[in-house]
Structure 1
Amino acid sequence: MTIKGHHNYLFHLKGVRGFSLTEIMITSTIAACLITGVSLIMNVIGSNLENQNTIVTKVNIGKIASKVYYDINSHTVNTYNAPSYGRTATADRLKSKFMDDIEGCTAVFCLARDGHNTIKPAYIPLDAKLDARVLDSPESFRIHLSKVMTHSQNVFKPWRGVSQFSNGSIFILSSSGFNGFIGVRSIYDIDFNQTAEPKGTYASVKRYSWNQLTDYYDIFYSDDSANESFRSLFAFHEKRIRRVFNEGNADSFKTAMEMPFYFIWWPDPSLKLTKEEMTTHGNHMGYGDLAQRTNYFFTVPIFPSL
């Protein structure tokens, strides 16, 4: 390289400088923070994997319940402990299906029970002499069902006002397209099982159509008294004009101005009920007192299409 060329090379290097000590320290600090953050994230993931048994619980609900609910031959099911926000997403999906069913149906009947529901028909016979307008309450529908499907007499219980039974089924009806029959669009079963292994309450909501399980969500409440907080799954408000009949406690549920309607509650996976909450909200409405805290409270007319 000539002296002149060397001079030009040095001239171009005058605009180039190295990193200052301050810049190196800032860069090192940022890199250290990133490495520390990644390490913490990996540590949390590892801890969650190690403690998976505290999130997911194997619950013994009995072989009969497993068969009726999910058509599986097992005494146990795997579920999540409350509160579980991931399970809430599953519940929201079922809630959306429920609202779609309500919008496309002709009638909704909530039936109360204590045991398991083995009645999941696709069609329900209608007596040719029956005036369908008399099916205007859960009790009138239960009586009709007991006549055309006699084995349902041992499943569903009479109730009025507020159901005091532990479990319930929601029959969502639609047109069948056949004379003498009404179609069953879907059936939603709400069940609470007290368990001993582990001790607590297993809650589930399941959707059936054509006697097939189509969707569900479940959750486990470790407090064994939680099932008492869910005692009132349904409340039915009759037409206000029925106040002309003096019927005692039933009169307080004659509030509907035009169409009878239900209050319906589902178990909320995002809530963790304790004995203290159960005591605070332990009146005859039970879980109804928690309505302002849950996203699974529904007001449903008995005839949504009218």
Structure 2
Amino acid sequence: MNRRVHQPGGFTSVELLLVLALSALILGGAVVTYGTLVRSQPSASSVVTVPLGLQRMQNFYGSTASTSNVAMAPQYGALSLAEELREQFVTDTLSATAVFCLPRDGVNTWRPSLIPHNPALHEELDTPQKFRAHVVANAGVSAALYRDYRNPLNDSATVPQNASIFVLGYSKWPGYLKVNAIYDIDLVRFTAATEPNGFHASVKRYADTASSLTPSTLSYTGGYEVFFPPSVPNPTSSAQWAADGFAPLFITFERSARLALRETPATIERFKRAAERPFYFIWWPDPAARHLGPVANTFASSDPRQAYNQMAGRTSFMFTTPMFPAL
């Protein structure tokens, strides 16, 4: 009679050595990864007290403070807010009747819920320049508030560092255009020895409040802000980072049919590329970027890409937005 011999269970010494070796590798990798995160955390979570001043703080956020505590880039908390704002912007523009981008140098002091417009009396608003001329002539807006500007590098004028995006919708008020939302993009450079050197960058949305039943001035509903240090660490002079910046904030592509209207300078013509519907390229500052250092531009002046080629790779927040999305 054959008797079955029972083998005791468990691991062999070779198997135990293999498991221990694998465990050491996994634990070692985890320790290295944790150490890297700990070492990088101070630079990713540094907070800068930015002296925006009473006027900007009141204008941007409705705050009575004069400074703002802002996280320094790269900042992933601000990145999540920027992603939320991106989704809101796409939602706003998808249902819009018109989108007009207006460049400016100072802060935006005009955020109306309604804009006077009588189709029987007023000119058709088919370009941002005509929209600007209309609000100056019919809404009491100062001509100095928004720049009479038509894409970068068409003349020797500096490229505006700030912009306001007007998102218009269907109106139930006869004789008025309805403003569904305004997005303000602002970059403020700080260079003084007593200031934190760098850029305060922000994108803010203004709209009617949920409880608003009548037209009024639009209110701040959300946005994001981040502080970008100079691209040259510890600059000894402003010249070392004078080329830092983030421009253009948008490019306007007009209908190609407007080529029938020959204009000067000739560089204006290169942006008449839209087959039927004019549109924009729009850029927002990216909180995940480390700085706003210069990027080489390699295109010729006859190519429209020369006006925005340096924006490639600088931000993940780039939009292609129709001027008249509802058409």
TM-score of the aligned structures, taking structure 1 as reference length: 0.80
Contact 1:239/1:257, CA 8 A, preserved across alignment: yes
Residue of structure 1 equivalent to 2:251 = 235
Alignment of 1:248-263 (within 5 A): 248-249=264-265, 250-263=268-281
The code of the aligned residue for 1:193 comes to: V
Q: Matched residue of 2:99: which SS?
A: strand
- What do you get for the CA RMSD once the two structures are aligned? 3.3
* 1:258-299 CA distance string (max 9 Å, x none): 121112111122223364x34668999788224432321222
Residue of structure 2 equivalent to 1:147 = 137
Alignment partner of 2:50 out of 56, 59, 66: 59
Structure 1 residues 282 and 192: CA distance shift in structure 2, 3 A: farther
Structure 1 residues 290 and 90: CA distance shift in structure 2, 3 A: farther
* 1:189-227 CA distance string (max 9 Å, x none): 000001242110111111110221112111211117478
Instruction: Provide the rounded CA distance (Å) in 2 between the counterparts of 1:73 and 1:212.
Output: 15
Alignment partner of 1:222 out of 226, 229, 251: 229
Residue of structure 1 equivalent to 2:233 = none
Contact 2:114/2:176, CA 8 A, preserved across alignment: yes
Instruction: Provide the rounded CA distance (Å) in 1 between the counterparts of 2:29 and 2:77.
Output: 24
How many residue pairs were aligned?
293
Residue of structure 2 equivalent to 1:303 = 324
Instruction: Provide the rounded CA distance (Å) in 2 between the counterparts of 1:41 and 1:271.
Output: 22
Contact 1:229/1:287, CA 8 A, preserved across alignment: no
Q: CA deviation at 1:149?
A: 2.4
Q: 2:291 matched to 1:273?
A: yes
Instruction: Provide the rounded CA distance (Å) in 1 between the counterparts of 2:87 and 2:34.
Output: 35
Structure 1 residues 242 and 27: CA distance shift in structure 2, 3 A: closer
Q: Matched residue of 1:143: which SS?
A: helix
Structure 1 residues 143 and 47: CA distance shift in structure 2, 3 A: same
Q: 2:308 matched to 1:288?
A: yes
Residue of structure 2 equivalent to 1:207 = 205
State the identity as a percent.
Answer: 33
Residue of structure 1 equivalent to 2:96 = 105
Instruction: Provide the rounded CA distance (Å) in 1 between the counterparts of 2:247 and 2:306.
Output: 6
Residue of structure 2 equivalent to 1:137 = 127
Q: CA deviation at 1:71?
A: 1.1
Contact 2:251/2:282, CA 8 A, preserved across alignment: yes
* 1:167-191 CA distance string (max 9 Å, x none): 1000000112111111111000000
Contact 1:262/1:300, CA 8 A, preserved across alignment: yes
Contact 1:239/1:258, CA 8 A, preserved across alignment: yes
TM-score of the aligned structures, taking structure 2 as reference length: 0.76
Structure 1 residues 279 and 65: CA distance shift in structure 2, 3 A: farther
Which has the higher Rg, Structure 1 or Structure 2?
1
Q: CA deviation at 1:85?
A: 3.7
Q: 2:172 matched to 1:177?
A: yes
Instruction: Provide the rounded CA distance (Å) in 1 between the counterparts of 2:132 and 2:278.
Output: 16
The code of the aligned residue for 2:190 comes to: T
